[in-house]
């Protein structure tokens, strides 16, 4: 899974989890971003198309964004993206969005652990992306 973490909250919480030696799944790649709202939908779609099983976006608490309520825009954008997933047949649970603070490393661990459990129950994305085998009738 890919985890896009706001450098002001989610990323610091992840660092705190590491400093406290909180056990974490090794099945994620952490990518710091300026703000949760800076994660564009095309990046999420491309990651899933490349076979990434899930995308997590971790941002500041709603109302606590340093960028003038940008995370409210991220909420709306990601709800629309999950609706698009329903239309194209991708399970909406492959996108997880969570809001926290820099001082919540245990929330970071809990969110990542729960998301990993959800993803383990879904078929791998690379399995969903393989083109169907067509049979031809030869005479």
For the chain, list the domains and their CATH numbers: 2-129 (3.40.50)
Q: Are strands 2-6 and 55-60 parallel, antiparallel or unpaired?
A: parallel
Q: How far apart are CA 107 and CA 97, in angstroms?
A: 13
Residue 137 bridge partners (DSSP): none
Q: How far apart are CA 58 and CA 99, in angstroms?
A: 6
Q: How far apart are CA 113 and CA 97, in angstroms?
A: 14
The confidence score (pLDDT) of residue 63 equals: 86
The confidence score (pLDDT) of residue 130 equals: 62
Q: How far apart are CA 54 and CA 20, in angstroms?
A: 25
The confidence score (pLDDT) of residue 69 equals: 86
The confidence score (pLDDT) of residue 34 equals: 95
pTM across the whole model: 0.88
The confidence score (pLDDT) of residue 126 equals: 79
The confidence score (pLDDT) of residue 68 equals: 87
Considering the chain, what percentage of its residues have pLDDT values greater than 70?
A: 91
Residue 60 sits at the vertex; the CA angle it makes with 55 and 62, to the nearest 5 degrees, is: 105
The confidence score (pLDDT) of residue 40 equals: 95
Grouped pLDDT means (10 residues each) for the chain, 139 residues: 96 96 95 96 95 96 89 93 94 96 95 97 81 59
């Amino acid at each position: 899974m890919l985890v896009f973490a706001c450098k002001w909250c989610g990323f610091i919480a992840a660092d705190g989890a590491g400093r406290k030696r909180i056990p974490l799944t090794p099945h994620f790649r952490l990518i710091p971003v300026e703000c949760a709202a800076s994660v564009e939908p095309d990046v999420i779609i491309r990651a899933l198309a490349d076979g990434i099983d899930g995308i997590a976006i971790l941002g500041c608490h709603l109302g606590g964004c340093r960028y003038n309520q940008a995370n409210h825009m991220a909420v709306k954008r990601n709800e629309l993206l999950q609706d698009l997933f329903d239309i194209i047949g991708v399970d909406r649970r492959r996108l997880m969005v969570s809001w926290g603070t820099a001082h919540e490393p245990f929330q970071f661990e809990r969110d990542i652990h729960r998301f990993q459990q959800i993803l383990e129950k879904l078929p791998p994305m690379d399995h969903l992306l393989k083109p169907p085998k067509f049979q031809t009738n030869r005479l």
